[in-house]
Structures are given as C-alpha cells and as structure tokens.
Amino acid sequence: MPPKPVNAVRSLRETALASVTGHDVARAAGVSQSTVSRAFRNDARLSQTKRAHVLEVAKTLGYTPSHLGRSLVTRLTRTVGMAVTDLENPFYPHVVAPLHDALAGLGYRMVLFMERLEGAESDQQALDRLLDRSTDGIVLTTTLLGSGIPRELARRGLPFVFLVRVTDDVGGDCAVVDNALGASLMAAEILRHGHRRVGAIFGPADTSTGRDRERGLRAGIGVADVELPDELVRRGPYGVGTGDQGMERLMDLPMPPTAIFCGNDTIAIGALNAARRRGIEVPGDVSLVGFDDLPMAGWDVFQLTTVNQPMEEMARTAAQLLVDRVEGRSEIGQVRRAVFEPRVVMRSTLGPPPKRRV
C-alpha cells in the first residue's frame, strides 16, 4: 500500500478527538504497527527513507511514543543511568553531553546518578538506586579500584560498562584511553626538552587513571635513567586545590623540579594558578603539563601542554557497548575492551629547563 499523502495526514489530525496512538500513525503512514515501532527504535532493518516518512507522519500528528507501553512489551525501560560522583571536576560535564547524544541516537534516555557511590557505608544505598529496575544498564565513570559496586551489578545481572576508569577484579566492557601510554608519551617530550629533575602532582592512587598515569610517567622518564623520588611527588583528588597546594610545596623545595607532570588538566590549572600568584613564570621557571585536553586547556589564558583522550569517541563506544549488552547482542562472559590511543598536544607550558638549573 503506498504511503498516504501528508495532506491526508493533516486531515486526520484535524478531525481526531482522542489521543494519537501508534496505530493512528501506522494507518496514516500506510505501514504496519511494527514498522512504526521500528522507526522509533531506529531499527537497522528499516530503510532510512521509510523511517523518515514514518517520523514525519508522527510529527504531523503530534504523536509521542510511550516509553511505558514499550517497556511492557520489551521489558526494557529504554533508560540508561550514568553514575558519577565528581561533577565538580570540569572533565565530567564534557563526558555527559556526548554520552547523552550517543544514547539518544540509539533510542535510549539517560539519567544521572549524582550520589556518593563509593565507600562501604554508601555502597548499599547506591546499589538500591541502581538496581531499582528504573534503568536497563549503567555507565560507570568515577569508579574507584576497590569499589564493590561493579561486582554486585555483575552478580545481579544489570548490564554496565566502564567509561574512563576501570577496576581490576571485575571484568566488564569498557571504553578507556591508554593512560600509561599517554603519560609515557608526555615523559618523552619532557625529556626531549632537556628536563632531568622531574616532579609530579598525581591524582588519586585508588583510581585506575591515577595509578596508570603514574606508572607511565615513571616508565617514560626511566628510559633516560631519570628517577622520581618521593620528595618530588604529591598526590590528591582530581581538583584545582590539589594542583595549587602541590605546586606550592614542590616549589618550596631547596631544589625544585624544572618540569611538573600533573595527573589531569584540572590539577595543572591549579598549579598554574599557584605559580602566577607567586610570580613563577611558566615555562620560564618551571614547565607544567596536564592530561585530558579539556576545552579550557586551549584557552589563551592557559595554553596548557597536555595529553588528549578522544572523549566523544569513547562516549559513543561506551554507549554502543552497553546497548549491545542490554539488547542481548553481546556474548555472555565475553568482555570487550575498547582502548583508545592518546596523543600529546603541544602548547606553551612546556619549554627547556631554566639555565640556572641546567
């Protein structure tokens, strides 16, 4: 049966007195009810031409699909949760948007779980929220190495995917950057610029990112027999305060480092703030580098040399991995790891060491 012209659809809309249903859309578009459902799911079995026609008819009629009704048939809510506890870190808002868009393109809504998800006292509360059947799966972004939540999600059978961070004792699909490689690539640049007294302000040691970036830096400078003694190392949360305090303490040493590796861009920005407050020139007196390549890292006020991780691509991959798991397209027991390659972004905060320290 050929599709009905749009003017016939408008006529139907003008005369309809009841709420428009999927059956109305199917009748007006000249297709089956299952075709309407496939159009709104962006089912690959439906041609884009027919999908566009169905969506146009639905829009003209003012039809909105019922997620509740769909869930009664498929037993899916078409909703995915994103568990994040560190939205004060400007890195994570840049993860939310591409993840939301990727899930929307796959026909899913996204909700944020913004409560404290780590620690023995809060694990049960977090799990109660994550396992209340309001979501089909969870994206874990701020997981600590010792968290029990991934293990319990796996035991309960709720699909999840790691994005940015992972844990060691629970295998799960993940989309991450090669953090150790990224830090070692930056270490090579630090060495190439002539630095031999290198300091670091690392992120939390109980995160895979903090651990792996430290491992990569130590290995990278180690090829030139450069060590990283404890006196030149500071650690803390991924925040501006960690960088500010770490910079103060490192530069108060009798022999401060000539270059400082920061665990992420936020720490590096805090270190830059402390340097400018004290009248320390970057990179004239000390070089600073970060990790992540946040949009603000390229602002004229910072021009931070850093390591880029392709967050949009990682988010899209995480969304697809999770939806495949939710919809049963992934083999049970098979863990899929998408590890992305980092790259160094050279800007203006890395230069040669000061002559007085050569």
198 beta partners? 259
Q: How many CB atoms lie within 10 A of CB 94?
A: 18
DSSP letter for 131, please.
T
233 beta partners? 200
Q: Specify whether 154 is located in the same domain as 241.
A: no
244 contacts: CB under 8 Å, gap ≥ 6: 270, 271, 273, 274
Q: Specify whether 246 is located in the same domain as 299.
A: yes
Among 256, 268, 207, 248, CA closest to 229: 256
The CATH number of residue 153's host domain is 3.40.50.2300
pLDDT number for residue 227: 95
Q: Specify whether 303 is located in the same domain as 319.
A: no
265 contacts: CB under 8 Å, gap ≥ 6: 91, 290, 291, 292, 293, 294, 296, 297, 304, 306
In a domain, 19, yes or no: yes
Q: Specify whether 48 is located in the same domain as 19.
A: yes
Q: Specify whether 27 is located in the same domain as 128.
A: no
Buried b (16+ CB within 10 A) or exposed e, 313-349: ebbbbbbbbbbbbbbeebeeeeebebebebebbeeeb
For residue 123, how many C-alpha atoms fall within 13 Å in the half-sphere facing its CB?
A: 13
In a domain, 37, yes or no: yes
Task: Give the C-alpha distances (Å, rounded to integers) separating 35 from 176, 226, 270, 333.
Answer: 36, 64, 54, 33
pLDDT number for residue 332: 79
In a domain, 169, yes or no: yes
In a domain, 105, yes or no: yes
Please tell me the chain's helix, strand, coil percentages from 3-state DSSP, rounded to the nearest 5: 45, 15, 40
Q: Specify whether 140 is located in the same domain as 165.
A: yes
In a domain, 1, yes or no: no
Distance CA 107, CA 77 (A): 11
Q: Specify whether 278 is located in the same domain as 315.
A: no
Q: Specify whether 237 is located in the same domain as 327.
A: no
The CATH number of residue 58's host domain is 1.10.260.40
pLDDT number for residue 230: 96
pLDDT number for residue 8: 47
pTM: 0.77
Q: Specify whether 36 is located in the same domain as 163.
A: no
pLDDT number for residue 120: 45
In a domain, 30, yes or no: yes
Number of domains observed in the structure of the chain: 3
Q: Exposed, middle or buried: residue 304 (CB in 10 Å: 0-12, 13-18, 19+)? A: buried
Question: What domain range includes position 80?
Answer: 75-177+311-340
Q: Specify whether 300 is located in the same domain as 322.
A: no
Distance CA 198, CA 229 (A): 9
Q: Specify whether 151 is located in the same domain as 191.
A: no
| Positions in the chain short of pLDDT 70 | 1-19, 64-75, 114-133, 356-358
Task: Give the C-alpha distances (Å, rounded to integers) separating 225 from 191, 195, 218.
Answer: 11, 12, 10
Distance CA 66, CA 346 (A): 49
Q: Specify whether 297 is located in the same domain as 189.
A: yes
Q: How many CB atoms lie within 10 A of CB 110?
A: 18
